[in-house]
Amino acid sequence: MTRVFSGVKPTGHLTLGNYLGALRRWAEVDQHRADALFCVVDLHALTVDHDPARVRRLSRQAATLLLASGIDPERCTVFLQSHVDEHTRLSYLLECVATDGEMRRMIQYKEKAPRERERGTSVRLSLLTYPALMAADILAYGAHEVPVGEDQTQHVELTRDLAVRFNQRYGHTFVVPKATHPKVATRVMNLQDPTSKMGKSDDSGPGIVYLLDEPDVVRRKIMRAVTDSGLDVVHDREERPGISNLLEILAACVGGNPEDLSGAYQSYGALKKDTAEAVVELLRPVQERHRELCADPGYVEQVLRTGAHKAREMARPTVDTAYRAIGLLPA
């Protein structure tokens, strides 16, 4: 059976980008057709300046939102990365297979390192080595597929390279995984700056729709989205990034494709109005389930405990094999 692994970092409140690029597909598709693991990758949240209490809060919230999105712990495995030691055990071995050069080429490192410096904080070494830990997340479980948004393609490519290199040097140990992406909205853009990704760790609230935003807040953010200088509604990511982003969000919500939908609109206002209502309706059931789950925190904790136990059992044999293959004696 196909094994699927994916994760979300608790570095901020989850966004519409996380939902359309990842969570929704995990819940609607992946968990039904594969043996799937979904992980709140909390160790990754420590790679940039962080507040411990906030990471704890956001980890709990992210896990709750996975369940609220319809991910069913009876069907798949939901857990926190830090509860399963195999991730860091394997990460070290992969650091011994990866090179300094390939880590420094990662786009996210190149973008985030200067941002940290600008804020006057030093760049943590873990920000550089992060892709080795991400590769370990995936390879420990022998995942065939990694459903992610477009921004993660480079990290999954690196994971593939490391798996192939390890297998060639030390004997076949790892499944070589591949990234899968949603058909539309694989890169939801910031509503105020449609040339950059809608990222949860960015501070600029007005361009980001959070999953837990009240309906009126969602409407206001979408109605105030930056549009382009033309007047007609066309889908063209290069020339019309603002309108194209709205068309893609609408298409992801109501089905169909952005090109076809563009023909139905004569004005930006009408497109914004429909997009806003479609997003409000998309988020409504998630928010309702989130409210219910918050009333029963013991349930979420139980799910995470069971998930960690299952995950540990799955990861340990592969990681033990890797330890032996690379030259370490069994304990």
Binding site for ligand AMP (CB under 6 A): 8-9, 17-18, 20-22, 148-149, 151-152, 186-188, 197-200
Alpha-carbon torsion (267, 269, 275, 278), positive or negative = negative
The rounded distance, in Å, linking the Cα atoms of 15 and 36 is 22
| Sites for ligand TRP among residues 182-241 (CB under 6 A) | none
The item of ligand TRP, ligand AMP, none sharing an interface with residue 198, based on CB under 5 to 8 Å by kind, is: ligand AMP
Number of other CB atoms surrounding residue 309 within 10 Å: 13
Residue 77: helix, strand or coil by DSSP? Answer: strand
Our finding on whether 23 is near ligand TRP (CB under 6 A) is: no
Is 272 one of the catalytic residues?
no
Number of other CB atoms surrounding residue 85 within 10 Å: 12
Is 112 one of the catalytic residues?
yes
Q: Tell me the CA distances in angstroms from 61 to 25, 40, 208, 272, one per residue in order.
A: 19, 10, 18, 29
List the one residue from 90, 127, 138, 283 that touches ligand TRP (CB under 6 A).
Answer: 138
Our finding on whether 268 is near ligand TRP (CB under 6 A) is: no
Nearer to ligand AMP, 136 or 148 (CB): 148
The item of ligand AMP, ligand TRP, none sharing an interface with residue 138, based on CB under 5 to 8 Å by kind, is: ligand TRP
Our finding on whether 9 is near ligand TRP (CB under 6 A) is: yes
Our finding on whether 245 is near ligand TRP (CB under 6 A) is: no
What residues contact 177, with CB distance under 8 A and at least 6 apart?
5, 138, 139, 143, 144, 145, 146, 156, 159, 160, 163
Residue 227: helix, strand or coil by DSSP? Answer: coil
**Residues in contact with ligand TRP, shown as a per-residue x/- string from 97 to 136 under the rule CB under 6 A:** -------------------------------------x--
Q: Judging by DSSP bridges, how do beta strands 3-8 and 35-40 pair with one another?
A: parallel
Contact 82, 43 (CB under 8 A): yes
List the one residue from 60, 112, 144, 155 that touches ligand TRP (CB under 6 A).
Answer: 155
- Edge to edge, the sheet with strand 3-8 lists 77-80, 35-40, 3-8, 145-147, 178-180
Is 197 one of the catalytic residues?
yes
Residue 166: helix, strand or coil by DSSP? Answer: helix
| From 197, 272, 273, 310, the catalytic residue | 197
Nearer to ligand TRP, 137 or 274 (CB): 137
Our finding on whether 144 is near ligand TRP (CB under 6 A) is: no
The item of ligand AMP, ligand TRP, none sharing an interface with residue 188, based on CB under 5 to 8 Å by kind, is: ligand AMP
Our finding on whether 15 is near ligand TRP (CB under 6 A) is: no
Residue 38: strand pairing partners: 6, 78
Q: Which residues bind ligand TRP (CB under 6 A)?
A: 5-7, 9, 41, 44, 134, 137-138, 146, 148, 152, 155
List the catalytic residues: 112, 197, 200
